[in-house]
Structure 1
């Protein structure tokens, strides 16, 4: 699996060092957080336009085993069948609270058991309900990405946005001190879903381009 290096992330985003920019007064009305994620600062849980310093965000994609050979940025070491099993077990825990039975079903699958334990440790705090199979990869990719970043940053997702067209983002990387978001991502269990992931990311960037009143001047970077 391709390593996610914190230095690489930071190096890719020089505008993190820039001062606050001014946006039109849209507030947070275009965004809605689909999860109440308690693993990130409370002030960052509701996304607003002024959390974005530019519409030209860096993007990344996550997939299961074999995803990088298909062009995904990163892959998590999970098979599609195991993801489906973990989804079923996750729903069982949410509906019945029966973690012991779920773990018993995984006793002969140590990799899936490892991932299930990660999910169980965090799903409530992250407010995942396992309504869709894709949430399994979302939570695991958030955890994997977070491990590679310094404590200065947070990873979240499940953010809906809309004006005339509605959309949703799986993953966002931001800075804890001021909630500035500098990277967005999509997690897809289907190896043939890369084009769809790219379309979703570009649609969000187009949405930002439409609504951000002021964007950074690249020449301003010379002053830093």
Structure 2
């Protein structure tokens, strides 16, 4: 009887072990789910259908953290040439469906420093096709980062002769949430993505924070997505973009 009981016990353990192994394999092999928070109409049509883990399977993957002026010595790798106060001012004029059209706000912009006028014009020309609704103050920095980063990357390639004038090799967008399943809660959001126009592969991603003191939070979010991809079975090495202000 003891031998039979032992045999049944071992068989039961084996079946449970097989079930757990199958469950763990099923769970770990599930593709991540990605949701677009913005509909960016500047993303190439053949790349706009959605995101998948495989689009991030690039080695090395470049990562960066963006903030406002004076942030590169506080842990950020890129600075956008604007002050924290300027971002708040612009957001006040664009939030709640105002979208920069209030006459009082326009008059204030005309009296503002040139960089504020520049950013206002950039936002007015691009926010609709980029799908930005300015639901949060950080949307100001995210939108401007997309525009300037895309411009600077492709301008550098044009000047070197790598690509023809008035063409682009890379597109820059963002606002993509990721989770383990379509029904699962979002684990995080990718603020800035740099993608290859031809292959749609994402070659770099980063976080944008208006607060220059929030670099630790930015890098936590960058590492969180790296851990997410690692959990999906991808062995991706990260490489930092150089510190400094490439936007000037």
Answer whether TM exceeds 0.5 for this pair. Answer: yes
What is the Cα deviation at residue 97 of structure 1?
7.0
Distance 1:99 1:206 in 2: 44
Which of 87, 105, 110 is the equivalent residue of 1:107?
A: 110
Q: Which runs of no fewer than 5 residues in structure 1 stay unpaired?
A: 1-23, 218-224
Distance 2:195 2:76 in 1: 21
Which of 152, 155, 159 is the equivalent residue of 1:148?
A: 152
Question: Are 1:125 and 2:167 an aligned pair?
Answer: no
Question: Are 1:77 and 2:94 an aligned pair?
Answer: no
Q: Which structure's CA Rg is the greater one? A: 2
Counterpart of 2:43 in structure 1 is 40
Which of 52, 55, 66 is the equivalent residue of 1:51?
A: 55
Counterpart of 1:21 in structure 2 is none
Query: Runs of at least 4 residues of structure 1 off by over 3 A?
Result: 214-217
Distance 1:34 1:111 in 2: 28
Distance 1:216 1:117 in 2: 38
SS in 1 for 2:172: strand
Distance 1:196 1:155 in 2: 22
Distance 1:181 1:112 in 2: 31
Q: Pairwise CA RMSD of aligned residues? A: 2.2
What is the Cα deviation at residue 108 of structure 1?
1.4
Equivalenced residues, count: 190
TM-score by length of 1: 0.78
Distance 1:170 1:194 in 2: 14
Distance 2:71 2:33 in 1: 32
Distance 2:88 2:170 in 1: 30
